[in-house]
């Protein structure tokens, strides 16, 4: 079995391998250990959500501030209801429409949910993931699994098992390798403990949500600016290499290159006439495909020893909201 530090990497890309790995992973989780697993969005770093000491280990492994609450993953609606003190009609409608899937609902919690999960707050975030490996793991353990993205705090979320190992190798007991995650960026988070409110744009877009619950309040100031959310810092989801996101990415990349910097240009515009020596990463021009490719592109470029990553900012507009949010968070302040 391949090992990285004390981390066991288990391939779960076939039914047979999944069948072998599940009992191992479930035993680790029941004993209070950490298992990273693929979801349809990004890889999660899972622990038994009802075991405060196990969830503490997630925070230690990630270097995550205790003020940032984590999402609890469950296998079905009934299991979510057991963790919350109220289940309003909006939750019912959203769960019926989008679960399993990349939508996280924030609701009043019950006492059985440990403080470390909610960062001491009165609400808990829950979702039923759509990935077959995540669902199989949830069913095998029968436990609700607290799982933030499986990266060091403030860094890029992982979309492959290799990304997880690079960031958390030796700090997690098991990594289940289910191949690249299909979604590429994180779930949409909405607070339904009161009138529905968007906390984090994500894979499910706002028009789809509004079609179910009507107008969504937004904590957002302007498009592309980070949203205020409990424990969520503006700088987040960031590569190590300083990153700028600007409308005219080609001009900016050329300027920095001319000044002697090693530069990459990430662009969906099919730019021609990029100066030779500028590393180019062509991105899809369609928002969902762009989202799927974004973190993988930034993870790759982060390994190239560049001085700067310049991203050509996609246009304003609802369909680009989640991508622009992540780029704003990835950008270096100043």
Q: Confirm or reject binding of residue 181 to Mg ion (CB under 5 A).
A: no
Partner whose binding site includes residue 231, from Mg ion, ligand TXA, none (CB under 5 to 8 Å by kind): ligand TXA
215 contact partners, CB below 8 Å, separation of at least 6: none
Interface region with ligand TXA, contact rule CB under 6 A, candidates 2-10, 121-129, 205-213, 268-276 = 121-129
Residue 167: strand, helix, or coil: helix
Give yes or no for residue 39 binding ligand TXA (CB under 6 A): yes
Count of H helices and E strands in the chain?
Answer: 11, 16
Which residues in the 224-283 window bind ligand TXA by CB under 6 A?
A: 229-232
- Say whether residue 241 binds Mg ion (CB under 5 A): no
State the minimum distance, in angstroms, from the CB of residue 251 to ligand TXA. Answer: 33
Q: Which is nearer to ligand TXA, 129 or 144 (CB)?
A: 129
- The token duo for 226 is 């980070």
CB of 222 to ligand TXA, least distance (A): 19
Q: Residue 3: helix, strand or coil by DSSP?
A: strand
Query: Which tokens is 149 given?
Result: 């993205």
Q: Which does 70 bind (CB under 5 to 8 A by kind): ligand TXA, Mg ion, none?
A: ligand TXA
- Both tokens of 180, joined, read 């690249």
Half-sphere exposure for 287 (CA within 13 Å, toward CB): 19
Q: Taking the complex as a whole, how short is the minimal distance between the CB of residue 186 and ligand TXA, in angstroms?
A: 4
Encoded one letter per residue, x for contact with ligand TXA by CB under 6 A and - for no contact, window 92-111 reads ----------x-x-x-----
**Pairwise CA distance, residues 1 & 10, whole Å:** 8
In the complex, the smallest distance separating the C-beta of residue 121 from Mg ion, rounded to whole angstroms, is: 17
State the DSSP code for 45.
E
Residue 18's H or E segment, with its range, is helix 15-30
| Piece in contact with Mg ion (CB under 5 A), picked from 12-20, 22-30, 33-41, 144-152 | 144-152
If the CB atoms of residues 86 and 285 are measured against ligand TXA, the closer one turns out to be: 86
Sheet holding 243-246, edge to edge: 243-246, 308-312, 263-267, 279-282
Strand 279-282 versus strand 263-267 pairing type: parallel
Min dist. Cβ of residue 163 to Mg ion (A) = 12
What are the distances in angstroms from CA 161 to CA 66, 168, 234? 25, 10, 26
For residue 54, give both structure tokens.
Answer: 């196990």
**Rounded Cα gap, residues 271 and 171, in angstroms:** 41
Report the C-alpha gap between 125 and 75 in whole angstroms.
14
- Is 149 one of the binding residues for Mg ion (CB under 5 A)? yes
Q: Using the rule CB under 5 A, is 75 a contact of Mg ion? A: no
If binding is defined by CB under 6 A, does position 124 make contact with ligand TXA?
yes
159 binds ligand TXA (CB under 6 A): no
Residue 180, interface with ligand TXA (CB under 6 A)?
Answer: no
Of residues 21, 22, 71, 250, which one binds ligand TXA by CB under 6 A? 71
Q: Using the rule CB under 6 A, is 192 a contact of ligand TXA?
A: no
Identify the sign of the CA torsion 313, 318, 320, 326: positive
169 binds ligand TXA (CB under 6 A): no
Count of residues in the chain: 334
Binding site for Mg ion (CB under 5 A): 149
Binding site for ligand TXA (CB under 6 A): 39, 41-42, 44, 68-71, 102, 104, 106, 118, 121, 123-125, 129, 147-149, 186-187, 189, 199-200, 229-232
């Amino acid at each position: 079995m391949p090992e990285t530090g004390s981390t066991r990497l288990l391939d779960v890309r076939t039914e047979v391998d999944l069948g072998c790995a599940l009992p191992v992973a479930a035993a680790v989780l029941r004993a209070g250990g950490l298992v990273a697993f693929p979801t349809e969005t990004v890889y999660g770093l899972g622990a038994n959500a009802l075991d405060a000491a196990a969830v503490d280990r997630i925070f230690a492994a990630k270097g995550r501030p205790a003020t940032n609450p984590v999402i609890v993953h469950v296998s079905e609606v009934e299991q979510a209801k057991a963790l919350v003190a109220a289940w309003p009609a909006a939750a019912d409608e959203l769960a019926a429409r989008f679960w399993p899937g990349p939508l996280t609902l924030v609701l009043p919690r019950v006492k059985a949910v440990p403080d470390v999960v909610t960062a001491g707050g009165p609400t808990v975030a829950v979702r039923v993931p759509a990935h077959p490996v995540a669902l199989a793991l949830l069913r095998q353990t029968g436990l609700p699994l607290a799982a933030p993205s499986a990266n060091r705090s403030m860094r890029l979320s992982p979309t492959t098992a290799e990304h997880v190992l690079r960031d958390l190798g030796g700090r997690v007991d098991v990594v289940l390798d289910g191949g690249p995650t299909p979604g590429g960026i994180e779930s949409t988070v909405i607070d339904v403990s009161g009138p529905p409110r968007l906390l984090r744009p994500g894979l499910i877009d706002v028009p789809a949500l509004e079609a179910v619950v009507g107008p969504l309040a937004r904590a957002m100031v302007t498009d592309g600016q980070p949203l205020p959310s409990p424990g969520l810092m503006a700088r987040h989801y960031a590569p190590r290499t300083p990153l700028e996101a600007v409308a005219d990415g080609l001009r900016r990349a050329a300027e920095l290159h001319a000044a002697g910097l090693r530069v990459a240009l990430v662009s969906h515009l099919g730019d021609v006439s990029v100066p030779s020596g500028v590393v180019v990463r062509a991105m899809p021009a369609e928002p969902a495909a762009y989202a799927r490719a974004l973190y993988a592109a930034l993870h790759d470029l982060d390994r190239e020893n560049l001085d700067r990553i310049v991203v050509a900012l996609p246009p304003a507009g609802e369909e680009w909201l989640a991508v622009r949010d992540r780029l704003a968070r990835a950008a270096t302040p100043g």
